[in-house]
């Protein structure tokens, strides 16, 4: 069993019953589960989750989580028995595939249709997130699962390696409520794929939006890197010597103006001009020099032709 350091509910969670808590208080930052077993991986946790105290007590040394359905137990024997019989082991991933590229597929899962799955996924994710709190009322969210089909395995065994969730109706036009790549698969560019898909969906919905704020420090760094790359690639399409404005970048990339500002400040290439802050001039040559210096490639993390859903379907919704 490999170990990594990076990275509804009653005392018998494998029975599939649910129990919602009457109240949830903000936990201390010390994890209430020290480590979790997911498939053949042994992962140290970062933050507390809202697993029932009846199950984990004040602190639990190890929690066993099914790699296919995310149901959980503190005991090894029930875990082994469940993984042998899990209904999701030899069947397609829940939901509808919306994106497929090489060894990756993204599935859209409705939290209302698959409530238990969404709750268990959210509880597992909270072990690695410090500021999210939606775990039981999942019916108003959609979940977008990033599934990796390892070509080295025979037979193939699709594995959820990360996801983002999104409110079905967001008054703030947030295109992401929660986003996470599980620790064993971090630092491989998978988060950039999830971000790219979330923005492409926003573009097809004709909605200017961004991730729910506030972002964690790790989340902010990841998004600033993503925004910076998108801006650099957009600027590369402009004629040689041409500059543009912050407002124009936002309209073309569907990145919120304030997020464009965050990225440009990080890149240190925003030039002031008269007028409002959204009229700041952005110089193409300086963006190109920044991209070269920071090793930012001109290839997008996603392929728009790899989407499996029609734009008209999104517009109708």
- Whether 124 and 247 share a structural domain: no
More confident residue, 287 or 190: 190
Residue 301 belongs to some domain of the structure: no
- Residue the block writes with tokens 């790790």: 218
Q: How far apart are CA 126 and CA 124, in angstroms?
A: 5
Among 32-36, 116-120, 164-168, 285-289, which is the least confidently predicted range?
Answer: 285-289
**β pairing state of 60-65 and 96-101:** unpaired
- Whether 83 and 132 share a structural domain: yes
- Whether 261 and 197 share a structural domain: no
The pair of three-digit structure tokens given for residue 215, joined into one six-digit string:
């972002």
pLDDT computed for residue 313 by the predictor: 53
pLDDT computed for residue 277 by the predictor: 64
- Whether 257 and 289 share a structural domain: yes
Residue 18 belongs to some domain of the structure: no
Q: Into how many domains does the chain fold?
A: 2
> pLDDT tens, 188-246?
999 999 999 999 999 998 999 999 998 888 889 999 999 999 999 998 888 887 878 88
CATH code, domain carrying 89:
3.40.630.30
- Whether 57 and 198 share a structural domain: yes
**Given a cut of 80, is residue 45 above it in pLDDT?**
yes
- Whether 122 and 203 share a structural domain: yes
- Whether 147 and 205 share a structural domain: yes
Which residues form the catalytic set? 212
> pLDDT tier at 19 (50, 70, 90 boundaries)?
very low
> pLDDT tier at 77 (50, 70, 90 boundaries)?
very high
The rounded mean pLDDT for the chain is 84
What is the per-residue DSSP string for 72-140? EES-HHHHHHHHHH-TTTTSPPSSEEEEEETTEEEEEEETTTSHHHHHHHHHHHHTT-SS---SS--TT
- Whether 74 and 165 share a structural domain: yes
Rg (CA), the chain: 21
Residue 181 belongs to some domain of the structure: yes
Nearest one of 161, 69, 147 to 108, comparing CA atoms: 147
More confident residue, 19 or 34: 34
**Domain containing residue 209:** 33-214
Sort 101 into a burial class: Cβ within 10 Å, 0-12 / 13-18 / 19+.
middle
């Amino acid at each position: 069993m490999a170990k990594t350091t990076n990275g509804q509910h009653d005392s018998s969670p494998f029975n599939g019953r649910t129990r919602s808590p009457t109240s949830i208080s903000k936990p201390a930052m010390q994890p209430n589960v020290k480590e979790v077993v997911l498939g053949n991986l042994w992962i140290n946790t970062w933050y507390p989750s809202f697993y029932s105290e009846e199950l984990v007590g004040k602190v639990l040394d190890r929690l066993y989580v099914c790699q296919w359905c995310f149901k959980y137990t503190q005991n090894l024997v029930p875990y082994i028995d469940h993984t042998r019989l899990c209904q999701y082991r030899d069947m397609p991933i829940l939901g509808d595939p919306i994106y497929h590229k090489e060894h990756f597929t993204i599935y859209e899962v409705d939290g209302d249709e698959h409530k238990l799955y969404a709750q268990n996924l959210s509880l597992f994710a909270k072990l690695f997130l410090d500021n999210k709190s939606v775990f039981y009322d999942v019916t108003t969210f959609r979940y977008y699962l990033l599934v990796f089909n390892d070509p080295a395995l025979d037979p193939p065994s699709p594995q959820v390696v990360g996801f983002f969730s999104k409110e079905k109706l967001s008054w703030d036009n947030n295109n992401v409520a929660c986003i996470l790549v599980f620790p064993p698969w971090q630092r491989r560019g998978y988060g950039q794929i999830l971000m790219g898909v979330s923005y492409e969906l926003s573009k097809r919905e004709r909605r200017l939006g961004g991730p729910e704020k506030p972002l964690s420090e790790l989340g902010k760094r990841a998004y600033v890197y993503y925004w910076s790359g998108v801006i650099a690639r957009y600027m590369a399409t402009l004629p040689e010597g041409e500059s543009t404005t912050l407002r124009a970048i936002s309209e073309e990339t569907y990145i919120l103006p304030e997020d464009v500002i965050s990225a440009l400040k990080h890149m240190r290439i925003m030039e002031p001009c008269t007028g409002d802050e959204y009229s700041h001039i952005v110089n193409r040559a300086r963006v190109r020099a920044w991209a070269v210096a920071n090793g930012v490639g001109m290839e997008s993390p996603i392929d728009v032709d790899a989407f499996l859903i029609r734009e008209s379907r999104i517009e109708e919704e």
